[in-house]
Amino acid sequence: MNIDTAEALSLDENSEVSFSQLLVLSGLSDNDLRELVDHGALTPINPNASSWMFTSYCVVVARKASRLSRDFELDAHAVSVLLGFVEKIEALESELHALRAGALGHGPAGTSDTVSR
Amino acid sequence: MKYKDYYKILGVARDASADDIKKAYRKLARKYHPDVSKEKNAEESFKEVSEAYETLRDPEKRAAFDQLGSHAAGQEFRPPPDWSQHFASGSPFDQMGQNAFDDIDLADLLAGLTGRARGRSGGRAGAREGPIPGPDYEAMVRITLEQAFHGTEIDLDLSVAEYDERGVAHRVPHRIKVRIPKGVIDGQKLRVPGKGGKGMQGASPGDLYLDIQVQPHPLFRTSGQDLYVDLPVAPWEAVLGTSVELPTLAGAVSLKVPASTRAGQQLRLAGRGLSRPGGKSGDLFAIVAIVVPTVVNERERSLYRELSESSNFDPRAHFKLGAAA
């Protein structure tokens, strides 16, 4: 059977989604999404713009918010607080991972470009 | 159809009150929710817990579940002959033959009783009237570092619910071929538009979300798009400098180790890490480790002695400064 190959899109800082796309992709209500923005859990690229755009990484955060809200029966404020803690833990884990990899074990003074083919 | 003991999954008695069920769910959700848990197999465990709670919190579904009887977890079973008439009257399962339950998942069966289907983001999509967007699928994908570096194509085999003309969900195997872009990193999330479940009554399909896990590599460690590799050098190579052949994910390169290189020093190979979409690539860092021979012959021992006698180098000079302070 011939199966078409589908393209996987990175959810990162390099692409954008609109407010209405974020609503559909996250399953959040309009009100909950606006509250998450008000509480600082999600930040539009230009908060002063008439129609908000977000980096596509916000899809990851908004879906997480949607799951936390549904599974723990939390309101948007509680989800925002929880997301803040989760974000801090992820940042610490990332730092720990970098330390283990050797990234932070030695200062930049020891770094030098010395490659040749 | 395989039996799942929802009471056992939540760790409550069959006569547990609604409050006890809620408490048990919250405790297990705290332990296994994939967004807050670091437990092994958290996602799989939470899926079971969530499924059990969805059934037992709803009096109608709980009664229907109770009447299925008690079986061993994982045991194949069929609902009693009069079960459909009592609990599935007016639902898509009404009038189904006994054999028709074989490829039905227990959760889909119980969800179908209340005339609801799973919508986008795994949430409930409301009554089954009008278009219902297809559910999103989520899958964890383990790839090698080489696949992350070059990009790759993977085949995903999922077991998904497909609805027949009566609206009955059947579990069917589903293969999806996906192209993973180069430069993905461990923990990255990807979206494959339109590759989730089919929408109902003309609604759009859901999406497929991939959680990328990059397998540990025997040589390279990763931090974001940067790569790290240990570079063992002999003491004389560190002192005198040398050129070494260094493996990279794009093939070996010749790396100049400068004279007087210290242990732990990082030699940066710019742009030889994982590529960033729309930006410059990460770097590869070779971390110098000075390795001494454990076995030396007479000639080498003699040369080390000669070096020891003629060198003024004191690697512990700072001890004396510290002691004088």
Are residues B245 and B169 part of one domain? Answer: no
Residue B106 lies in a domain: yes
Are residues B17 and B112 part of one domain? Answer: yes
Chain B residues in contact with A86 (beta carbon < 8 A): 35-36
Nearest to A80 by CA among A36, A15, A31: A36
- Which residues 70-89 on chain A approach chain B with CB closer than 8 angstroms? 70-72, 82, 86
Q: Which CATH number do you get for residue B32?
A: 1.10.287.110
B245 interfaces chain A, CB cutoff of 8 Å: no
List, for chain B, all residue ranges whose pLDDT scores fall below the cut of 70: 84-102, 113-129, 324-325
Does domain A16-98 sit in CATH 2.30.180.10? no
B254 interfaces chain A, CB cutoff of 8 Å: yes
Q: What one-character DSSP code corresponds to residue B212? A: E
A10 interfaces chain B, CB cutoff of 8 Å: yes
Q: The whole model's pTM is what? A: 0.82
The ipTM of this complex is: 0.85
Domain boundary (B197, B215, B233) is at B215
Residue B318 lies in a domain: no
- Which residues 186-225 on chain B approach chain A with CB closer than 8 angstroms? 188-195, 207-210, 221-224
Picking from B26, B152, B223 by the largest number of A CB atoms within 10 A of its own CB, the best residue to mutate is: B223
Residue B287 lies in a domain: yes
Residue B320 lies in a domain: no
Q: How many helices (H) and strands (E) does chain A have?
A: 4, 6
Domain boundary (B215, B231, B249) is at B215
Higher per-residue confidence, A109 vs A44: A44
The angle subtended at Cα B269 by Cα B264 and Cα B274, nearest 5°, is 110
A98 interfaces chain B, CB cutoff of 8 Å: yes
Q: Searching chain B, which residue's CA lies closest to the CA of residue A96?
A: B223
Pairing verdict, β A5-7 and B124-127: unpaired
Are residues B61 and B101 part of one domain? Answer: yes
Are residues B109 and B13 part of one domain? Answer: yes
Are residues B97 and B54 part of one domain? Answer: yes
Residue B244 lies in a domain: yes
Are residues B84 and B138 part of one domain? Answer: no
Consecutive H or E run containing A93: helix A76-101
Are residues B302 and B249 part of one domain? Answer: yes
| Region of residue B322 (phi > 0: left; psi between -120 and 50: alpha; otherwise: beta) | alpha
Count of domains observed in chain B: 3
| Beta-carbon contacts below 8 Å between A and B | 152
A27 interfaces chain B, CB cutoff of 8 Å: yes
pLDDT digits (tens, 9 = 90+) for B136-191: 999 999 999 999 999 999 999 988 888 777 777 788 888 999 999 999 999 999 99
Residue B105 lies in a domain: yes
Q: Which CATH number do you get for residue B143?
A: 2.60.260.20
Domain boundary (B215, B235, B256) is at B215
Chain B residues in contact with A56 (beta carbon < 8 A): 191
Chain B residues in contact with A59 (beta carbon < 8 A): 189, 191
pLDDT of amino acid B130: 76
Consecutive H or E run containing B231: strand B226-233
Residue B84 lies in a domain: yes
Give the domain range for residue B245. 220-312
Q: Searching chain B, which residue's CA lies closest to the CA of residue A10?
A: B190
Are residues B5 and B104 part of one domain? Answer: yes
User: What tokens does B243 get?
Assistant: 């050129």
Residue B77 lies in a domain: yes
Q: Is the pLDDT reported for residue A108 higher than 50?
A: no
Whole-number Å distance between alpha carbons of A43 and A27: 18
* Separation in Å, CA A87 to CA A60, B156, B251, B264: 12, 29, 36, 31
pLDDT of amino acid A109: 43
Whole-number Å distance between alpha carbons of B234 and B239: 9
Region of poorest pLDDT, from A42-46, A57-61, B79-83, B240-244: B79-83
